[in-house]
A = this chain, B = another copy of it.
Amino acid sequence: MKKIILLFLFLTSCLAISAQEITFGFGGSENPLINSDHSVTFVFNAPDVSKIEIEAPFLPAREIDTPWGKMTGSGRVSLPKSAEGIFSWTSDPLPSDFYTYSVYIDGVRVVDPNNVYQNRDVASLNNYFIIGGGQGDLFEVQDVPHGDVSQVWYPSPRAGMEQRRMSVYTPAGYNPSDKRIKYPVLYLMHGIGGDENSWMEGGRLPQVMDNLIASGKAEKMIVVVTNSNMSQQAAPGAYPGSRHRPQLMVPGNMDGQFEESFPDIVAFVESRFNVFKDKAHRALAGLSMGGFHTVYISANYPDLFDYVCSLSAALNDHSDTQAARDSYIYKDLDAKLDRQFRTAPKLYWMACGNADSLFSDNLTFCRKLDGIGARYSFIESEGGHTWQNWRDYLTRFVPLLFK
């Protein structure tokens, strides 16, 4: 009896909390339920809602109307509703991977109230789940030594910013006090609209690194994820005056300024962390706009990086601003590549999906590399301009670094 009274008092005290900011999800379920055949079931108890839909890249693609005409979009499914007001639906069995989705409640896009696991990408919040038993295991937290993740402020005089933020992964065992052990560094860049959190969240970088290092497939390394948006000190919400809806079309990112300021990042990392300070121990990689940055930064600073990896690089024409047309960073690329490959990087690795609108631009760039006799790898994958591909590329190129 005493226990019951205590439980009551305890719950009463908890509900005082609940009353303010916490809900318990009384009767709520947890989405998705992962079934033994690797199908997933979503359940919503929502008697007053007329329509619930799930939108996800794992559903068959569909045509969507946009201001620019019909385009291909993520698939969407409408969930059947029972007489009791329960919506539920089960997918086909899914291959092992990391999956994102969102929910539409009577036409309004929301994150799933029955799944607190989500990440932000630009202005969108997506829920996620993981199907294990294969590739997905690399994206899950496993019982292996974990590296630390830090949000670190640094000065970037070349960018005119006293403070900018980077995210840093230091592998398990890294000890800032032990200067005898030095590490190589991978500098990793986001796409347009992304920021220093993108690879840590949607990219599952800490989990991939922990798992690849623990299995002996990757070297222990520090990974520095930059913020490459010249109008941002940090991710939206993390610097003064930034509490607005994040924008995809961040201006000033492809006119040479970020590339010019990149040595500030290297200088800071090499002063702050216990790292090797030579070309053989520096890698540069990025997705989409970050792939574009990868190509131009490595070509303009040919002595910095021995490992250069571009993922779905946005190698289309970016000369639409005067600043871009004026920047020395983008001038004479052929000559710069020629210089870069005279002391060729140990790895020059490109990957792009064959359904990506940037695929042909990547092939054109390969022809340019062929023209100067450059040694490189180009991986053609299935699929488009997606995080599914970028996560996969990460698991493929990280094992090739510093070997």
A residues sitting closer than 8 Å to B (CB atoms) are 2-3, 6-26, 28, 30, 44, 46-51, 57, 61, 64, 66-68, 71-74, 100, 102, 105-111, 113-114, 116-118, 120-126, 129-130, 140-143, 145-153, 163, 165, 172, 175-177, 179, 191-193, 202, 236-240, 242-246, 248-249, 271-272, 288, 314, 316-317, 320, 356-358, 384-388
Looking at the complex, which one of B108, B153, B271 makes contact with A46 (CB distance below 8 Å)? Answer: B108
Instruction: Provide the residues of chain B in CB contact with A116, threshold 8 Å.
Output: 120, 123-125, 236-237, 245-246
Chain B residues, CB < 8 A from A143: 240
If A8-B68, A11-B68, A150-B149 touch, whether A23 touches B123 (CB-CB below 8 Å) is yes
Contact B148 A105 (CB under 8 A): no
Tell me the number of copies of this protein: 2
Residues of B near A46 (CB, < 8 A) are 106-108
Instruction: Tell me the nearest residue of chain B to A8, going by C-beta.
Output: B68
Asked if B149 and A125 make an inter-chain contact with CB atoms under 8 angstroms apart, the answer reads no
A-B interface, 3 closest residue pairs, ranked by CB to CB distance from nearest: A176-B176, A150-B150, A48-B107
Q: Which one of B172, B272, B316 contacts A153 once the chains associate, using CB atoms below 8 Å?
A: B172
In the docked arrangement, what's the CA distance between A193 and B24, Å?
11
Complex interface: chain B residues within 8 A of A149 (CB): 150-151
Across the interface, which residues of B come within 8 angstroms of A163, CB to CB?
A: 145-146
Pair A146/B142 contact, Cβ less than 8 Å = no
Tell me the complex Cα distance, A108–B105, Å: 9
A13/B141 in contact, CB under 8 A: no
Provide the bound-state CA to CA distance between A314 and B10, in Å: 10
